[in-house]
Amino acid sequence: MSVIFSAESAGLMYPDGTQALIDTSVKVAAGEFVSIVGPSGCGKSTLLRMASGLIAQTTGTITRTGTVQFVFQDSTLLPWRTVRKNVALNLELQKIDQRIINERTSVALALVGLTDSADKLPRQLSGGMKMRTSLARSLVCEPDLYLFDEPFAALDEFSRERLNLELRNMLSTRNAGSLFVTHSIAEAVFLSHRVLVMSPRPGSIVKEFVIPFGNDRDQNLRYTSEFAQVSGEIAQTLRELTP
Amino acid sequence: MKRRFLNAVGPVAVFLAFIALWYLVAYSLHNNFSPASGKPMIIPPPHRLFEDFHGPIRDRIFTALLISTRTAITGLAISAIVGIVIGVAMAQAKWIERSLWPHLIALQVTPIIAIVPLMIRLIGANFTARVTVTVIISIFPIVSNTLFGIQSVHPSLHDLFRLQNSSRWVILRKLQLPAASPAIFTGLRVAAGLAVIGAIVGDFFFTKGDPGLGQLITFFFLNNLSGPMFITALLATALGLMLFICFGVINRIVIGRWHDSVAR
Ligand SMILES: Nc1ncnc2c1ncn2[C@@H]1O[C@H](COP(=O)(O)OP(=O)(O)O)[C@@H](O)[C@H]1O
Ligand SMILES: [Mg+2]
């Protein structure tokens, strides 16, 4: 398994002196899905921003091979662009040939089930559809590493579970690695090969859970005793971290 | 449909009340201060406004309207271009913002009456000077709204572009300007009103050169031509309204599709 992202003893102090991360080590291999859970303000977003190169670590080393796509918590669509033009944005910024952009955009739209809404504006979409558009915008680029910062946090339980499954299906045909930040333990367990638990600020990885399910998962998995067992252990770890 | 009707009732009622008040004031002033003396009325009631509106007086009013319109529109156009450029420049770097901001405030709070004599000395009592005054009066809301609009762009949207290594120019064109356009249009609308004020009040202080609406109002006032004076004043209002509405329409066409403040 080739490692596409690794942070080794990485630390980050913001210019104002806030030590957000300390001695953080994370590895993500190609085709691997890794989730991060942790208390609010422990540095999860900071870790993702560091992984993407938006901010630089102040100590330790970060190694990244290949391209990155970032999926933000809010869908960050451009309100003056249609769904199609929003999905095409990243390709457009990479100055790719318009014909190829059109083709790949159509494929991505079909993948997230938005073909019929391609000409709508963001304000005409539901929260779930906005998030699908945002996912499509990242999927269309076929990066080597996906970074997700609580992408489904604003959705209702039902939409979230559906999108969890869809996301698994979308990623299943690719060999990209994913680093996924979430507040939902169930979501982390359902999606991931590994779940990492972070300590309160200054954040670092304190525990790793290997999720014992294969790649073939469906919604019923959520109601099995094994699922409850792992989720319970992670919840217990989180509770012990926050007094 | 019904809602439209109800929305129109308020403004119409206020307008009618205003006309009624006008008649009341016109006749009570006339009866109290110049009763049946054959002197012209101090304030003509609405139906007698147009009594003197013919011949040379009418020509002078139209010429003045043309001059003031040209001044206001030219000034506004220059304000729009220069104002957006300055606003964009200020949004690019904190030091540019900090260097320019105090001076813009100073310009904004300087009264017209202080600016006009200076302009006459510097440029002369000509069209260029009038336009310059108009620009000085109307540029501030365009600069500040452009700056504010660009600064309010959501940080994640910036990250989105930065992750693609977009240049400043691409970010400006594809993110900052479109995102700021609702704020810029609000600025343009306010500036449109100010440009008319700048053109007319500025003109009032220009005692030389071809008279615009401001000078003409003074002239009619000094010559006891109340009717034409009122018509000129109403035309000044109409000019301001026209520009305001123009920007409302352009606003609707350009950003109405996607922006919540306009779209329903
Ligand atoms: N730009 C910044 N400057 C200073 N401190 C920051 C900045 N961004 C985040 N922080 C602080 O760093 C800590 C971690 O933030 P963040 O990574 O957003 O946490 P999380 O995503 O886990 O909730 C928080 O205490 C936060 O207040
Ligand atoms: Mg966060």
pLDDT at residue number B18: 92
Torsion of CA B113, B114, B119, B124, to 10 degrees: 50
Cα(B241)–Cα(B234) distance, rounded to whole angstroms? 10
How is residue A233 written in tokens? 């252990």
* Cβ pair B255:A94 closer than 8 A: no
Q: Does residue B36 carry a pLDDT above 80?
A: no
pLDDT at residue number A154: 85
How is residue A50 written in tokens? 């560091």
Alpha helices in B93-176 (DSSP H): 94-109, 112-123, 127-151, 155-162, 168-171
Contact present, A148 and A177 (Cβ < 8 Å):
no
| Residue A152 neighbours by CB distance under 10 Å | 26
Please count the structural domains in chain B.
1
The 10s digit of each residue's pLDDT in A42-66 is 999 999 999 999 999 999 999 999 8
Higher per-residue confidence, A193 vs B211: A193
- Of the candidates B158, B164, B170, the one whose C-alpha atom is nearest the C-alpha of residue A67 is B164
Residue B42 lies in a domain: no
Label residue B37 by pLDDT band (50, 70, 90): low
Q: Which residues have C-beta within 8 Å of that of residue B44, sequence separation ≥ 6?
A: B26, B51, B226, B227, B230
Q: What is the ipTM of this complex?
A: 0.88
The 10s digit of each residue's pLDDT in A62-113 is 999 989 999 998 889 999 999 999 999 999 999 889 999 999 999 999 988 8
For ligand 2, the distance from its centroid to the CA atom of residue A149, given in whole angstroms, is 7
pLDDT at residue number B263: 43
pLDDT at residue number B187: 95
* Angle subtended by helix axes A98-111 and A83-93, to nearest 10: 130
How many residues are present in chain B?
264
Residue B62 lies in a domain: yes
- From chain B, pick out residues whose CB is under 8 angstroms from the CB of A72: 156, 159-160
Decide: A116 in ligand 1 pocket, CB within 6 A: no
Range of the domain at B101: 52-255
Rg, C-alpha atoms of chain A: 18
**Percent of chain B whose predicted confidence (pLDDT) is above 70:** 94
Q: Does residue A125 carry a pLDDT above 70?
A: yes
Identity at A112, one-letter amino acid code? V
Q: Quick one: residue A48, left, alpha or beta (phi over 0 = left, psi -120 to 50 = alpha)?
A: alpha
Higher per-residue confidence, B125 vs A19: A19
* Cβ pair A79:B154 closer than 8 A: no
* Cβ pair B163:A76 closer than 8 A: no
How is residue A112 written in tokens? 């997230």
* B62-92 CB burial, b ≥16 within 10 A, e <16: eebbebbbebbbbbbebbbeebbebbbebbe
Contact present, A122 and A75 (Cβ < 8 Å):
yes
pLDDT at residue number A170: 86
Of the ranges A134-138, A139-143, B12-16, B30-34, which one carries the lowest mean pLDDT score?
Answer: B30-34
**Three-class SS of residue B70?**
helix
Counting ligands in written order, the one closest to the CA of A149 is 2
Q: Does residue B130 carry a pLDDT above 50?
A: yes
Cα(B170)–Cα(A93) distance, rounded to whole angstroms? 8
Of the ranges A153-162, A219-228, B152-161, which one carries the lowest mean pLDDT score?
Answer: A153-162
Label residue B264 by pLDDT band (50, 70, 90): very low
Q: Which residues have C-beta within 8 Å of that of residue B224, sequence separation ≥ 6?
A: B40
Which residue in chain A has the smallest CA separation from B154? A76
Strands A68-71 and A145-149: parallel
How is residue B244 written in tokens? 């305001």
For ligand 1, the distance from its centroid to the CA atom of residue A74, given in whole angstroms, is 17
Q: In Å, what is the CA distance from B206 to each residue of A95, B67, B127, B128, B131?
A: 55, 13, 10, 12, 12
Which residue in chain A has the smallest CA separation from B177? A80
pLDDT at residue number B131: 93
Cα(B225)–Cα(B229) distance, rounded to whole angstroms? 6
Domains along the sequence of chain A with CATH: 13-67+143-243 (3.40.50.300), 80-142 (no CATH)
Cα-Cα end-to-end distance for chain B: 15
Residue B15 lies in a domain: no
* Cβ pair B257:A80 closer than 8 A: yes
DSSP classification of residue A119 = T
* Cβ pair B163:A68 closer than 8 A: yes
Contact present, A1 and A44 (Cβ < 8 Å):
no
Query: Looking at residue B74, which CATH number applies to its domain?
Result: 1.10.3720.10
How many residues are present in chain A?
243
Contact present, A68 and A226 (Cβ < 8 Å):
no
Decide: A66 in ligand 1 pocket, CB within 6 A: no
- From chain A, pick out residues whose CB is under 8 angstroms from the CB of B161: 93
pLDDT at residue number A197: 96
Average pLDDT of every residue of chain A: 93
Residue B41 lies in a domain: no
Q: In degrees rounded to 5, what are phi and psi of residue B119?
A: -65, -40
Select the residue of B162, B175, B260 nearest A54 (Cβ to Cβ). B162
Count CB pairs under 8 A between chains A and B.
Answer: 49
Label residue B39 by pLDDT band (50, 70, 90): low
- From chain A, pick out residues whose CB is under 8 angstroms from the CB of B162: 54
Which residue in chain B has the smallest CA separation from A137? B160
How close does chain A come to B163, measured CA to CA in Å?
7
Cα(B256)–Cα(B264) distance, rounded to whole angstroms? 9
Segment A167-193 mean pLDDT: 93
| Residue A63 neighbours by CB distance under 10 Å | 11
Segment A25-34 mean pLDDT: 95
Q: Is the dihedral of CA B230, B231, B236, B240 positive or negative?
A: positive
Q: Which residues have C-beta within 8 Å of that of residue B149, sequence separation ≥ 6?
A: B87, B179, B180, B181, B182, B183, B184
Contact present, A149 and A48 (Cβ < 8 Å):
yes
- From chain A, pick out residues whose CB is under 8 angstroms from the CB of B164: 90, 93-94
A interface with B, Cβ–Cβ < 8 A, is 49, 52-54, 68-70, 72-74, 76, 78-80, 89-90, 93-94, 121-123
The 10s digit of each residue's pLDDT in B203-224 is 888 777 778 898 899 888 888 8
Decide: A49 in ligand 1 pocket, CB within 6 A: no
H/E stretch holding B75 reads: helix B55-92
Select the residue of B156, B174, B181 nearest A76 (Cβ to Cβ). B156
H/E stretch holding B194 reads: helix B177-205
DSSP classification of residue B226 = H
**Percent of chain B whose predicted confidence (pLDDT) is above 90:** 49
pLDDT at residue number B1: 63
Cα(A240)–Cα(A40) distance, rounded to whole angstroms? 15
Decide: A202 in ligand 1 pocket, CB within 6 A: no
Residue B143 lies in a domain: yes
DSSP classification of residue B111 = -
